[in-house]
Structure 1
Amino acid sequence: MMFDWKKFADQQQQSKPPSKQELELRLIEMLRTIYDPEFPVNIYDLGLVYKLETEASGRINVTMTLTTPNCPVAQSFPETVRETLLCVPGVNAVEVMLVWDPPWSRDNMSEAAKLQLGML
């Protein structure tokens, strides 16, 4: 008999909801699976996520930017982030707000990202 991943996921969602801290860690883990098309670094460590807010209802609000307003994925990237975060158990809705102020700079990057890009 094969393992039923859908049933497992459904059971996980029906179990006790994660604490706010657990949920935030899971969200960050998922954000780290999304890579910027211009840099070989995930969007969280690249510093593109300015704010990550969780509500008790399971609603998530993300305020983020892109490396440049002329980014070729500017139209589709917020939807990619939304769909990815909706996969996290306990998340019922995701709103992604794309902002350009303050503009992204390399100073936003984590040390891990700078190390990965050979900047340290």
Structure 2
Amino acid sequence: MPEEDLIDIKFRLYDGSDIGPFRYSSASTVDMLKQRIVSDWPKGKTVVPKVVSEIKLISSGKILENSKTVGQCKAPFGDVPGRVIIMHVVVQPSLAKTKAENKIDTSPKKGVCSCSIM
């Protein structure tokens, strides 16, 4: 693989910490990047993605599609040889998990009123 075909990418997490940088071929897909993020996620974080579908990658202000390649996602104005591309990682837990955690309390409410009329 030619050296110029490789791209250094660092993933910036929600708390400002980074994963990487790692070197990828420009033919690597966004889905492959997300798989690497899930497998290399740092221990001790409060938000942890369990599957690739919980991750969104943002580069140059655009959410990247899983089927796109790294070469297609590069910003043309940011191509400086030897530069590390930073992609931001957004974790969105699956909707089913979120709904289970946010169950509505259906227990009867006790009405308490304390009015003072003078």
TM-score (norm 2): 0.29
The structure in which a higher percent of residues are strand is 2
Structure with larger Rg: 2
Q: Which has the higher contact order (CA 8 A, sep 6+)?
A: 2
Give the number of the structure whose residues are more often helix, by fraction.
1
TM-score (normalised: structure 1)? 0.29
